Chain A
Amino acid sequence: MAIPFDQILIQTVNGLVNGMILALVASGLTLIFGIMDVVNFAHGDLVMLGAFVGATTIAATGSFWLAFLVAALVIAVFGAALQASTLRPLLGRDPLTTILATFGISLVLQKYALWQWGPSARKIQEPITGQFAMFYLEYPWYRVATAFFAGAIIGAFWLFLKYGRYGIWIRATMQDRIMASAMGIPVPLVHTAVFAIGAAMAAASGVLFGPLGGVTQTMGFDFTLRAFIVVVVGGMGNLGGSILAAIFISLLEAYASIIVSPSQAVIVSFMALILTLLFRPTGLFVPTPK
């Protein structure tokens, strides 16, 4: 069976668009894991909360971009409070403890969203409505814009890590928490700040994703799962690896969905996860550790 070239190209664009949003979610997840060894199972629910805060703000103000900012800020503050109250006391404990704790948080957030916003899905109106012709499809510009926007946020954060005065605090703490502390870096504050940044990135993804997939209180689980696969495939705690893995996994799924249905295409992600764990447990896109 020959696969038409136009389908491959369309799926490449789809894969890249999905991959960039996923990369934004996974960046936060990998960052939080890298710096405090916490696998945040509530990460997708921060995406969901961000999307709801965004939808509510749009309903009140009519401005997508204002909603985007409000959602990121509100969820950043919420994330900071969550980290300081719930995760900070568990730091350094058995990983199972933090997994259970974040899983519990995830359930609480979902039930809160159900109580606060009800069971029906909300739609966020996209701020850019134009379309362009791609073969037989009218492809929305907004989808392309989300990829650029997610890329810009990741790029800005990367520049901050590399050149920002306090970016060095994050990188040093990631490598050696104890020595960072001995160098006068306020490690507990850095942990809280990183969690807040990760939460803001999740919320930003939620608002960006809103017009594409709708906003429901159960949307978080899918993001957690996919981001988790990406973080493992990219190498736990490795930011660059996670971004590459997000694009890689999304492209894989997009191409697979040419042949099988999209819900079956998810299987290739799990295969990638299992193969990575079996043959390259440190991650696909990292040099073999010395």
Chain B
Amino acid sequence: MLALENVHTYYGKSHILHGVSIEVGPGEVVGLLGRNGVGKSTTLKTIMGLVRPADGRVAFEGRGIGGMAPHRLAHLGIAYVPEDRRIFRLLTVLENLRTGLDRPGLTDRRREELLQKVYGSFPVLRERRDQAGGTLSGGEQQMLAIARAMMLEPKIILLDEPTEGLMPRMVSQIRDIIQVLHRDGVAILLVEQNVPLTLEASSRVYIMEKGVVRHHAPAAELRANQAVIHQYLGV
């Protein structure tokens, strides 16, 4: 469904991605592991159209999407949860959700269903719906960022380090929501530093180093044999 072939990306003159190739099938949860600064976040930004790939092909459902504007990618069914969450701080929780809900072609009924669904998954967001996004705790902001992405009814969510800096209780909530999304048939490309969570949630895992994919294996294989993990991640 989503395929990157030999993608090269630059920030100014620095060459960040040196030919990345990744595939995610429909409804599949795929992990992307690697140390800090190896290009995981840049890979997601390249898919989302926030940085333009200099070379290679990015395709979604067979169609080239390299260089397309982010809002058009969102309409195609790609949602993005950035590492720094990027909550609209001055908008309330409900208004943050409305940024994805208030779009043409969505009936009021469907709008309400989507809202009730995320309130069901994240009751805290219902409680705080009239509070400014900037006043939420880190964990609540992460939930809001994921919930906001779900408003778009995406086919795939690009999740950038959703558990970074969260308390263990929050981490397990994130794990739960990944399972819920997976059950609903939403594909996820999960960038993480949390190796156990990634191996548990994903079906396949790519490991990146210095801007390229060094290793690619089913998660079950990596769970059984963690030598590769040690080799590339040093954990």
Contact = CB atoms under 8 A, between A and B. Distances in A.
22 contacts: A165-B102, A166-B102, A168-B91, A168-B102, A171-B88, A171-B90, A171-B95, A172-B88, A172-B95, A172-B99, A175-B91, A176-B88, A179-B82, A179-B88, A180-B88, A181-B71, A182-B70, A182-B80, A183-B74, A183-B148, A184-B103, A185-B99
A182 B152 CA distance: 10
A-B pairs, top 8 by smallest CB distance, nearest first, are A184-B74, A181-B70, A179-B86, A182-B80, A172-B99, A183-B99, A165-B102, A182-B70
Contacts of A181: 69-71, 74
A145 interface: no
A184 B150 CA distance: 12
A182 B74 contact: yes
A62 interface: no
Interface of B: 48, 50, 69-71, 74-75, 79-80, 82, 86, 88-91, 95, 98-100, 102-103, 148, 151-152
A178 interface: yes
Contacts of B102: 165-166, 168-169
A165 B75 CA distance: 17
Given A168-B102, A169-B102, A178-B70, A184 B91 contact: no
Interface of A: 165-166, 168-169, 171-172, 175-176, 178-188
A90 B48 CA distance: 22
A180 B99 contact: yes
A184 B86 contact: no
A172 B88 CA distance: 7
B99 A169 contact: yes
A187 B71 contact: yes
Given A171-B91, A179-B82, A184 B69 contact: no
Contact of B71 (A165, A166, A175, A185): A185
If over half of B's interface residues share one DSSP class (helix, strand or loop), that class is named, otherwise mixed; here it is loop
Contact of A176 (B80, B86, B151): B86
Given A165-B102, A178-B70, A184 B95 contact: no
A186 B71 contact: yes
A194 to B, nearest CB: 16
A182 B89 contact: no
B101 to A, nearest CB: 9
Contacts of A187: 69, 71
By CB atoms of chain A within 10 A, which of B74, B98, B99, B102 has the most? B99
B141 to A, nearest CB: 12
A175 B90 contact: yes
Contacts of A171: 88, 90-91, 95
A91 to B, nearest CB: 13
A175 B70 contact: no
B152 A178 contact: no
A41 to B, nearest CB: 27
Contacts of B99: 168-169, 172, 180, 183, 185
B75 A184 contact: yes
A136 to B, nearest CB: 48
A280 B99 CA distance: 32
Contacts of B80: 182
B152 A183 contact: yes
B95 A168 contact: yes
By CB atoms of chain A within 10 A, which of B50, B71, B74, B82 has the most? B71
B100 A184 contact: yes
Contacts of A165: 102
Contacts of A185: 71, 99
B64 to A, nearest CB: 19
B71 A184 contact: yes
B152 A175 contact: no
A175 B92 CA distance: 13
